Amino acid sequence: MTNILIFLGPPGSGKGTQAEKISEKFQIAHISTGVMLRDHVDRKTDLGIKAKSILDEGSLVPDNLVIEMLKDRLDSDDCKNGAILDGFPRTLPQALSLENDEKFSIKSVIFFDVNQEELVKRMLERGRSDDTEESIKVRLQVYLNETEPLVGFYSKKNLLTEINALGSVDDISSSISELINL
Ligand code: B4P
pLDDT tens track for 6-58: 999 999 999 999 999 999 999 999 999 999 999 999 999 999 999 999 999 99
Q: Report yes or no on whether pTM surpasses 0.85.
A: yes
Q: How far is it, in rounded angstroms, from Cα 103 to Cα 100?
A: 9
Instruction: Using DSSP, state whether 51 is helix, strand or coil.
Output: helix
Percent of the residues in the chain that have a pLDDT greater than 70, as a whole number: 99
On the question of pLDDT at 66 being above 70, the answer is: yes
Of all residues in the chain, the percent with pLDDT exceeding 90 is 95
- Tell me which residue has its CA closest to atom 22 in ligand 1: 60
What is the pLDDT at residue 64? 97
The yes-or-no verdict on residue 181 having pLDDT over 90 is no
Cα 32 to ligand 1 centroid, rounded to whole Å: 9
CA dist 76 and 126 (Å) reads: 30
**Model confidence over 98-135: pLDDT tens digits?**
999 999 999 999 999 999 999 999 999 999 989 999 99
CB atoms within 10 A of CB 72: 10
Ligand 1 centroid from CA 122, angstroms: 10
Instruction: Tell me, in angstroms, the distance from the centre of ligand 1 to residue 45's CA.
Output: 22
128: left (phi over 0), alpha (psi -120 to 50) or beta: beta
Alpha carbons 104 and 74: distance in angstroms, whole number: 9
**Atom 49 in ligand 1: which residue has the minimum CA distance?**
169
The pLDDT score that the predictor gives to residue 182 is: 64
Q: Is the CB of 17 inside a 6 Å radius of any atom of ligand 1?
A: yes
Task: Give the pLDDT confidence of 144-165 residue by residue, as tens digits.
Answer: 999 999 999 999 999 999 999 9
CB 10 less than 6 A from any atom of ligand 1: no
Region of 83 on the Ramachandran plot (φ > 0 left; ψ -120 to 50 alpha; else beta): beta
Q: Which residues contact 22 (CB under 8 A, 6 or more apart)?
A: 5, 28, 30, 84, 173, 176, 177, 180
* Cα–Cα dist 175/164, whole Å: 9
